[in-house]
Amino acid sequence: MKAVRIHQFGGPEVLTYEDVHDPRPRKDQVLIRVRACALNHLDIWVRQGLPGVNLPHILGSDIAGEIVEVGEYVTDLTSNGLKAGRRVLVAPMHFCNRCSKCVAGLQNQCRHFTVLGNGVDGGNCELIAVPAANVIPIPDSLDFNQAASVPLVFVTAWHMLVGRAGIRPGQTVLVLGAGSGVGIAAIQIAKLFHCRVITTAGDEAKLAKGRELGADYGIDHYKQKISAEVRKITNKEGVDIVVEHVGAATWDESVKSLKSSGILVTCGATTGPNVGIDLLHLFARQLTLLGSYMGTMRELHEVLRHVFAGRLKPVVDRVLPLSELRAAHEYLEKSQMFGKIVVNP
Ligand SMILES: [Zn+2]
């Protein structure tokens, strides 16, 4: 099959479109023909070099495609069963499915947990073999590019807001980066919970799109000071929850935007991981800082129910052929997109 692999870590030039052996599925696996694979910022981190990545390596976490073959040991008791030809998406998590965390449904706390395309080969290829538990049928209302744009960012945003921050109706939520995958998901999830949403972006066109997704207010983070605008919007009170994934560039403004006893939840650090914390603020204002990493299979199924019903919508920025993955990475690194960048094998 064709695949894009990296044989060394580095810039987009290390992405190599080449022939590799077809995967040979185990009897407990399902073989998928990849029709679409969405990019995430994680792809850039992995390409540049993360511990635990064995070379050569195939990137790509978010996969949608068709079932080619179902292993003989795969039992499926659901009416919407797994069989050849079925259109599916692939849960982007890799876990052991045996340890006490996994059987308790806390897959993202498994010692062996990793993301597809990070610790194990991903979907920048034509065929992939995955455990049956990861294979989820999709409705006809979603095309492959839309379906591939869902799993990682929507389960991440759901775990942040629902699993970690305990979002409640009527709260005010600040979502950084309206055009990012997590931002697009978090705006819509917060509106699903009848919250007031403030979002940020680097230009007016992105802010307008953020409002189309349901955001009530937009802040231009290049022209305006986020915490000052939040104070104006909230009558000096601050927000209940901040959804952080930007890191160093926005951290101080994010913390300052919280109300007393507010919650900051973070899942990433695209502009760098090293930030400061003012302990006077933390204890005197009784703030809560939460880390969040991906989500559980239960949470993925929960958020997918809303996506499949059309209450939450994936946003695709552009689609390129897999052979042009290098150009897709270059575009991702410019951060000019609104929504997901998808490649088709
Ligand atoms: Zn486990």
- Mean pLDDT value of segment 58-70: 97
Q: How far is the CA of 215 from the centre of ligand 1 (A)?
A: 37
The vertex-322 CA angle with 83 and 138, nearest 5°, equals 30
Q: How far is the CA of 320 from the centre of ligand 1 (A)?
A: 35
In order of 71, 96, 212, 333, the CA distances from 42 in angstroms are 30, 21, 27, 11
Q: How far apart are CA 330 and CA 307, in angstroms?
A: 29
Q: What is the reported pLDDT for 77?
A: 65
Q: Are 16 and 119 in contact (CB under 8 A)?
A: no
Residue 78's pLDDT band, with cuts at 50, 70 and 90, is: low
Q: How far is the CA of 285 from the centre of ligand 1 (A)?
A: 37
Q: How far is the CA of 107 from the centre of ligand 1 (A)?
A: 6
Q: Are 199 and 218 in contact (CB under 8 A)?
A: yes
Q: How far apart are CA 188 and CA 304, in angstroms?
A: 13
- Around ion ligand 1, which residues have CB less than 5 A away? 95-96, 99, 102, 110
Q: Residue 81 pLDDT > 90, yes or no?
A: no
Q: How far is the CA of 51 from the centre of ligand 1 (A)?
A: 20
Q: How far is the CA of 296 from the centre of ligand 1 (A)?
A: 11
Q: How far is the CA of 95 from the centre of ligand 1 (A)?
A: 5
Q: Report pTM.
A: 0.96
Q: How far is the CA of 332 from the centre of ligand 1 (A)?
A: 32
Q: Are 239 and 258 in contact (CB under 8 A)?
A: yes
Rounded CA Rg of the chain:
20
- Mean pLDDT value of segment 82-109: 96
Q: Are 42 and 66 in contact (CB under 8 A)?
A: no
Percentage of the chain surpassing pLDDT 70?
99
Q: How far is the CA of 98 from the centre of ligand 1 (A)?
A: 5
Q: Which residue carries 């869902």 as its tokens?
A: 150
Q: Quick one: DSSP state of residue 218?
A: E
Least confident of 76-80, 144-148, 156-160, 174-178: 76-80
Q: Are 18 and 3 in contact (CB under 8 A)?
A: yes
Q: How far apart are CA 314 and CA 87, in angstroms?
A: 17
Q: How far is the CA of 156 from the centre of ligand 1 (A)?
A: 19
Q: How far is the CA of 110 from the centre of ligand 1 (A)?
A: 4
